[in-house]
Structure 1
Amino acid sequence: MRTYRELFAAPEFTPLFVCSSAQGAAQTVSGLALGTLVYAATGNPLLSGLAMFGPALAQVAGAATLLSAADRLPPRAALAGLALFLALGTAALAIPGLPVWVMIAILVAEGLLASLGGGVRYGLLNEILASGGYLLGRSALNMASGAVQIGGFALGGVLVFTLSPRGTLLTGAALYLVAAVAVAGLKRHQPRAEGRPSPAETWRSNVLLWSSAPRRRVYLALWVPNGLVVGCESLFVPYAPQHAGLLFACAAAGMLAGDVLAGRFIPPEGRTRLVTPLHLLLAAPYVIFLLGPATPVAAAAVTLASVGYAASLLLQHRLMELTPDELSGHALGLHSSGMLAMQGVAAVLAGTLAQWTSPAAAMAVLAAASVAVTVFFPVRPEPSPGVATGTQHRSKLPLTRGKSSPGEGQDTHDAHRAGAAEGG
């Protein structure tokens, strides 16, 4: 599978594509509305960042207790149920007079269950595409996520101005319902793994995945550098309240360009070698925020930097090379949950630094930290070893069904952030 024409010819890819895109649009629109609503009510950049990215912190609890269900639930039913739950929760957030702590509680519940979403969705993607098709399929979903975020943040800004933040939240709830309806186009698939999901099984598989040193390095490279940069993004609203939607749209545009580059034009032999340069590109332009640039300069820096999110796509491909097929959904779910959790931690750190200093200074500090992590702990090219599966090793072909891609790997969502995406 080498072309997008072949990709969309796969019978079940289109409904999965529509489901993922509608959910990404819902998350984008409702996230901007909620961040604006909380900041207007409290004037607190920390709470605003938590409202947009805090639910990612709940991914830690989900990854520790629920992820074994990603390969043990019927995918169609799981995706439909999750979309309906998110629609209900988002509609509840629009209730007038709802205390901020209740909003955070709802967001935590959404984040907890959403920890399953990436694993189920991208595990199914790996299942329905022909051999070698996962990287291309994930690239297409990421590009759609980028396009959806560009339009979603622009539309969200208009809706917040015309309908109010609460009206925009209801629009997000309606988009989640569209995602639930799109799932009806999928066939019924059996769970990929046998047995009952349980916290004990989740923990056993997490330990197994983490026991391999090459996989550990890939996971940390997926989580830390881009998580710190998402912390910078969490301060767009306090930095430029009137132009935050523009900055988010520019970030999505840069991510879209990077995904096109990684998905179609980077040859396999160059993928690992480009991870470090892309991570440096992701963080370095944000250092300019220390000077408090005007909106046009800030938008250009954000667009350029976000091309670097393509490193996550390449790293997810590497993760799938190192992971047994029967753990693919769980592995991608662990990646997604860890990535989103790191983004939540970075959002809290960014908000705290912004309160002590300023949003611009906090963004520059987190960008410098991301550069430092990339420089001192680079991902180096290495041969593909046998796949560690506890006490056994099993060889894996370089192209198996289900190569992973950015931000969510086969196990999760996200796009690069997702929170802000899922983007993607």
Structure 2
Amino acid sequence: MRTYREIFALPEFRVLFLARCLTMAAISIGSLALGATTYASTGSPLLTALAMFGGPLITLLGSATVLSASDSMGPRRASTIMPIAYAAAFLLQALPHLSWGWRFAILAIPFLAGSATSGSTMRLLHDIVPPDGFVLGRATLNIAVGVMQVAGYGLGGFLLAWCTPATLFPLAAVAALAAALSIRLGVRERPGVASGKGLMTRTREVNRALLGSPVTRPLYLAMWVPNGLIVGCEALFVPHAGQAGAGYLFAAAAAGMLLGDVVMGRFVPPRHRDRTIEPLRMLLALPYLGFAFSPPLAVALVLAFIASAGYAASLPLQERLVAATGPQTRGQAFGLCSTGLMVGQAVGAAVGGALATAVGATHAIVALAATSAAITAALTPALQRSAPTRGSTVVTR
């Protein structure tokens, strides 16, 4: 399966794509509104970064205890939990005169609700598409993320120039509810994976196997740590460029990610995908070093666009993860991957915010990018264990 016509011929994939578009539009608009609200009321780069990217830290609790629900629960039901929770949270964020403490408490709602089911969408994708269509399907869902981040952040930046951030929250809530409804009506349910072990016991055992494996552990680290530091750069767009400028920077970064995913999923032949991992992982960090010269907004947009194309390295890395895991644990394997990505982003945002408080947003962006590039280089040897030419043990607990 190599073409968009083939993959969009699958009715359930079309629904999954629509739901991803609606969910990402909701998250983009809502998080930009929350970041702008927090910065306006506190003036703190740290709190602003945490408001936009800190929520995933909450998923650590669920990932350590109940993440195997991604396999044991029906994937359709599991996939509707987080968008419904986002809708509720955004409606609460629209209430006037909330303190930043209450806003952070509300922010926890969708991440607590979804911490047990973060791998369900990838499990559903694996059930919907044939094996040779997984990378194209994953890349196409990433395209939905990129397109709707461009649209969401761009629309949000435009609206923030004319109205208050609070007016964006109801719009985000409607989009999230529409996402949940489309999955409920357009995707058939699949059975969960039966297990004789308790949810918490199975979660701990599979997590231990995945993180203890010399094959899968480097894959996780390569997707979590360097990417998280670059998201830390993005979390500083508001203090770096202001509300309106930040919206355009977010849109440029999302457009770059979109381009990378389109090229990787549609045009790079399967036999060549693996060779792109190292160059793309370095591309993700190096353009942000140009922020050391305090470029004008137009140049900064180009740098953010180019850098974000490097996120496409995650696609062949995830293809390696599919090869290294069995169907009994694949939901949890991708749930753990998703949780680590989000937590890495949250930690990167927190580190970036703290660093920006001390040295300023521009210098913090440069420091985070340099650290990301160094860690990418350090992880390269360990990634050879999961290369397609190496034999690897499949984690099937």
CA distance in 2, matches of 1:365, 1:229: 10
Contact map agreement 1:153 1:246 (CA 8 A) in 2: yes
In the alignment, residue 238 of structure 2 is paired with which amino acid? V
1:138-167 per-residue CA deviation (whole Å, 9 max, x = no partner) reads 111111111111111111112233342111
Match of residue 372 from structure 1: 374
CA distance in 2, matches of 1:61, 1:257: 34
For structure 2, the 5+ residue unaligned runs are none
Match of residue 213 from structure 1: 214
Contact map agreement 1:79 1:121 (CA 8 A) in 2: yes
What is the Cα deviation at residue 195 of structure 1?
5.0
In the alignment, residue 358 of structure 2 is paired with which amino acid? W
Contact map agreement 1:322 1:384 (CA 8 A) in 2: no
CA distance in 2, matches of 1:359, 1:287: 13
CA distance in 2, matches of 1:303, 1:374: 20
Match of residue 15 from structure 1: 15
Match of residue 246 from structure 1: 248
1:71-124 per-residue CA deviation (whole Å, 9 max, x = no partner) reads 111222222233222201111011111111111112123223233453111100
Match of residue 53 from structure 1: 53
In the alignment, residue 288 of structure 2 is paired with which amino acid? Y
CA distance in 2, matches of 1:369, 1:222: 15
What is the Cα deviation at residue 212 of structure 1?
1.4
CA distance in 2, matches of 1:162, 1:115: 35
CA distance in 2, matches of 1:176, 1:195: 35
CA distance in 2, matches of 1:109, 1:88: 8
CA distance in 2, matches of 1:77, 1:377: 37
Match of residue 326 from structure 1: 328
- Residues 214 and 93 (structure 1 numbering): CA distance in 2 closer, same or farther, change over 3 Å? same
What is the Cα deviation at residue 128 of structure 1?
1.1
Contact map agreement 1:66 1:197 (CA 8 A) in 2: no
In the alignment, residue 35 of structure 1 is paired with which amino acid? G
CA distance in 1, matches of 2:272, 2:222: 17
Match of residue 285 from structure 1: 287
CA distance in 1, matches of 2:181, 2:160: 26
Contact map agreement 1:68 1:197 (CA 8 A) in 2: no
- Residues 163 and 204 (structure 1 numbering): CA distance in 2 closer, same or farther, change over 3 Å? same
In the alignment, structure 1 residue 156 sits paired with structure 2 residue 156? yes
Contact map agreement 2:71 2:332 (CA 8 A) in 1: yes
SS in 1 for 2:130: coil
What is the Cα deviation at residue 57 of structure 1?
1.1
Match of residue 223 from structure 2: 222
Matches within 5 A, 1:310-325: 310-325=312-327
Contact map agreement 2:232 2:345 (CA 8 A) in 1: yes
- Residues 180 and 196 (structure 1 numbering): CA distance in 2 closer, same or farther, change over 3 Å? farther
Question: Which of the numbers 385, 391, 395 marks the counterpart of 2:391?
Answer: 385
Q: Where do 4+ consecutive residues of structure 1 move more than 4 Å?
A: none
- The TM-score with structure 1 as length reference comes to 0.89
What is the Cα deviation at residue 193 of structure 1?
4.1
In the alignment, residue 387 of structure 1 is paired with which amino acid? T
1:222-248 per-residue CA deviation (whole Å, 9 max, x = no partner) reads 111111100000000000013001000
Match of residue 395 from structure 1: none
CA distance in 1, matches of 2:248, 2:84: 29
- Residues 175 and 246 (structure 1 numbering): CA distance in 2 closer, same or farther, change over 3 Å? same
SS in 2 for 1:323: coil
CA distance in 1, matches of 2:48, 2:302: 24
1:6-40 per-residue CA deviation (whole Å, 9 max, x = no partner) reads 11111211111111110011000001000000000
CA distance in 1, matches of 2:220, 2:115: 16
In the alignment, structure 1 residue 231 sits paired with structure 2 residue 232? yes
Match of residue 335 from structure 1: 337
For structure 1, the 5+ residue unaligned runs are 393-424
Matches within 5 A, 1:268-279: 268-279=270-281
Match of residue 421 from structure 1: none
Count of aligned positions: 391
What is the Cα deviation at residue 375 of structure 1?
1.7
In the alignment, residue 318 of structure 1 is paired with which amino acid? R
What is the Cα deviation at residue 293 of structure 1?
1.1
- Residues 185 and 375 (structure 1 numbering): CA distance in 2 closer, same or farther, change over 3 Å? same
CA distance in 1, matches of 2:220, 2:161: 39
In the alignment, residue 11 of structure 2 is paired with which amino acid? P
Match of residue 111 from structure 2: 111
Moved more, 366-375 or 376-385: 376-385
In the alignment, residue 56 of structure 1 is paired with which amino acid? P
Match of residue 185 from structure 1: 186
Matches within 5 A, 1:80-119: 80-119=80-119
Match of residue 140 from structure 1: 140
Moved more, 106-115 or 116-125: 106-115
> Taking every aligned residue pair, what percent have the same amino acid on both sides?
42
CA distance in 2, matches of 1:170, 1:93: 9
CA distance in 2, matches of 1:11, 1:129: 11
- Residues 239 and 193 (structure 1 numbering): CA distance in 2 closer, same or farther, change over 3 Å? farther
Contact map agreement 1:60 1:337 (CA 8 A) in 2: yes
CA distance in 1, matches of 2:96, 2:29: 18
Match of residue 352 from structure 1: 354
Matches within 5 A, 1:257-276: 257-276=259-278
CA distance in 2, matches of 1:173, 1:162: 20
